Structure 1
Amino acid sequence: MTDAARESVESALELSKVESHLHPEGSFDVAEHPVPTGREEIWRFTPLKRLRDLHADADLSADTIVTEVQAPEGVTIEQLEVGDPRLGSSGFVPVDRVSARVWHQATERYAVTVPKETELDAPVFVDVTGTGTQGAASSHVVVTAEPFSKATVVFRFTGSATLADLTEVVVGDGAQLTVVSIDDWADDAVRLGHRHVRVGRDATFKHVDVSFGGDVLRHDSTAEYSGPGGSVEMLGLYFADGEEGRGQHIEHRLFVDHAAPNTRSNVVYKGALQGEGAHTVWIGNVLIRKVAEGIETYEENRNLVLTDGCQADSVPNLEIETGEIAGAGHASATGRFDDEQLFYLRSRGIEEDEARRLVVHGFFNDLIRRIAVPQIEEQLTRTVEAELAKNVLKAFPVAAGEDA
């Protein structure tokens, strides 16, 4: 892309302000973001009373997370100071009070950088372990895949914590980057996470978002393009449990901003729910700007409701400012456990509990295989099995008159 063409695209973007309730005005000034009340569009599904004041003015300086990084040779890990130019290199601008406060007040700031033209033969693992919920912790990380590099970065979150964090991702021209984020927290964890990625010319980015543990998880993931030819794939897998009206709340909010021509995006999220009070939320927003001719996008969300008493909210949104596109679409479906599949398996001699496990595994497995990180795929398969083994008998009581 020539400098003149790039300036033309940037100029068009500056003139093209989108007036929409789905995209609040961004600002680094915390005062510009009032404390949410729950009546705002972007907060209406979130249980504010369970956030331990993260959405308001909780002290974010608690020393309750431990971060360890395992990286192949060549990858650089650096602590960052306030004002480092790499902070903000993704183009991120806070659109809510939480992310604005993390920007200014994060107690941990660091960068993970994959050098230009480097192809890693093993993933980078970032393990974040919570050591308690006494006070709120905060962190800000910048992941950069320099031009024509190829890498996978895996974040694993475990333990107990109250965490507000921000992850910026910069994918250089021609680079290929996969970022996997696995939330396998203890039952008392609360996390509000923000991720923002900028995808360069002819670059490829895959984001895998896995959410199993925790009391309340809310993830805001946004993607934008800095040049034509970029591709974004977002895959998500989540499993929410509930018991006696106090269920997990797992919320994913996605926004893909097609701000360059001939770009592509594909979003597929799948979730399962079981137990009284379990609640999942998926909001998928895709914006196709006037300058983004020739783009192709599709977003899909599927929810499998395993028991009564749980709720799945799914809201796909498409905003299109040009008709010169290759394709755009979305799909959303929420359904109960398929009794016909269960009958088919039982008629072939498979026990009921095993048949139910097979149906749920089948629901998730096609998505797990697309992660393309073998050790992660194996781990997720075991985690799904653990969730089912822990709850399957309670979730699927045998009806009166059926064989036990």
Structure 2
Amino acid sequence: MTVVESTPFVPVQTRSERPTSFEPEDFGTPTGREVNWKLSDVRRLAPLFVDEETEVGDDLAVTYDVDAIESYLVESTGHDVAPRGEIFEPEDVVAAIAWKRCANALHVRIPEGETVAEPLVARIAGQGEGRHANAHIVLEALPGSDATIVLEHSGSAAYAQNVEILVRDGARLTVVSVQEWDDTAVHASAHQAVVGAGAYLKHIVVTFGGGAVRVNPSMRLAGEGSEGDMLGLAFADAGQHLESQVYMHHEGVSTKGDVLYKGALQGEGARTVWIGDVLIGQDATGTDSYEKNQNLVLTDGTRADSIPNLEIETGDIAGAGHASATGRFDDEQLFYLQARGIPEEQARRLVVVGFLMEIVQRIGIPALEERLAADIEAEIARGAGLAPASRAGA
């Protein structure tokens, strides 16, 4: 009798091992059991799993206001036009469909050595609930340049988006993605960035609106002495699912990275998901890295998932660590404020604002910071009548 030994199935455990493909069929349709979908709202994201043409007549599901960045736009027609695809590799079926169905990229290029004083803002507006659109965006900062690019999302649509970020040697770039969708919008976006030698990237994700929003950024600190900050802020109301799976890969020597995401939740069914992965590669000696996620639960009936992961392949590093915390209001903070004559409702507002503004104040764009501060106040006011949380979310 011949004994046939079968190889046991071993699920993918680390972010660096995930398969990539430009072919949607290689991934199949997510069921919610896959490692990168098990905490996602697969039911609401399902329209983005369909591989089909998205244009309806002559109207597009999403419009782009790019007047503010027109002088920095570069024609990019076709899948093979460089630098599109230089570093981007789809990690899931949504990114693969967006790659396949969007032949022409929106390419923003900052010229070598140029410092752009004002932020470059692209406004992306959904034109109707359920209307489906795919996009590929390339943000490129040439050597020695310095700029800030903001992607603002509003309206409603089922919108799949790939963002490819190239920070060349010695460049400094800030990328801010703001999600202020209507509650009926569905949005999944994959941001993939590479940072060259002596270069710096600050990447910020701010999500207030949308029914189900999944923005997954990854950053490769590839060049020697490269640095990166990955910052995020989410405020989930009743029924909202706001998610980010964050990946920082230290590849070069003497790289430095910081990951800080914060979330607030209020209302029945509000949910945030944060999964943070940091990989310090075997050649990344002298690395200094830290990641942290904090969530503030404002009412019962919410859920915050927070999973930090750290993988180190070399012992010659300056430092590395990670932390995660989810909880309700700090009673001592509230007591301190109330003991000084501040009413409880106002004290709670001050605590929430102080907690979230740490991210907002690091954006570096005064007008946008002021607007987001107002959005935070509006979110707090919207939940003012809800009962405070008696315990932390699961």
Q: TM-score, normalised by structure 2?
A: 0.91
Residues 21 and 41, structure 1, Cα contact 8 Å, conserved in 2: no
Structure 1 residue 55, shift from structure 2 partner: 2.7
Instruction: Find 1:300's aligned residue among 285, 292, 295.
Output: 292
Amino acid at match of 2:175: V
Q: Deviations over 1:222-250 (max 9, x none)?
A: 111332111010110110011xxxx1000
Instruction: Find 1:188's aligned residue among 181, 184, 188.
Output: 184
Q: Deviations over 1:110-161 (max 9, x none)?
A: 1011100000010100000111023311111101000000000011101111
Residues 61 and 132, structure 2, Cα contact 8 Å, conserved in 1: yes
Residues 54 and 132, structure 2, Cα contact 8 Å, conserved in 1: yes
Asked whether 1:237 is paired with 2:229, we answer no
Asked whether 1:36 is paired with 2:30, we answer yes
Residues 74 and 114, structure 1, Cα contact 8 Å, conserved in 2: no
Amino acid at match of 1:68: D
Asked whether 1:359 is paired with 2:351, we answer yes
CA RMSD in angstroms comes to: 1.8
The aligned residue for residue 4 of structure 2 is none
- For these two proteins, the number of residue pairs brought into alignment is 375
Structure 1 residue 74, shift from structure 2 partner: 5.3
Structure 1 residue 56, shift from structure 2 partner: 4.4
The aligned residue for residue 391 of structure 1 is 383
Q: 4+ residue runs of structure 1 moved beyond 4 angstroms?
A: none
What pairs with 1:3-402 in structure 2 (closer than 5 Å)?
20-22=13-15, 23-57=17-51, 59-61=53-55, 63-71=60-68, 75-89=72-86, 91-106=87-102, 109-242=105-238, 247-396=239-388
Measure the CA separation in 1 of the matches of 2:103 and 2:388.
45
Q: Which moved more, 1:45-54 or 1:228-237?
A: 45-54
Secondary structure of the structure 1 residue equivalent to 2:259: strand
Secondary structure of the structure 2 residue equivalent to 1:358: helix
State the percentage of identical aligned residues: 44
Measure the CA separation in 2 of the matches of 1:20 and 1:357.
40
Measure the CA separation in 1 of the matches of 2:359 and 2:221.
25
Measure the CA separation in 2 of the matches of 1:234 and 1:269.
8
What residue ranges of structure 1 are gaps of 5+ in the alignment?
Answer: 1-18, 398-404
Change (3 A) 1:306 1:28: same
What residue ranges of structure 2 are gaps of 5+ in the alignment?
Answer: 1-11, 390-394
Measure the CA separation in 1 of the matches of 2:103 and 2:369.
32
Secondary structure of the structure 1 residue equivalent to 2:384: helix
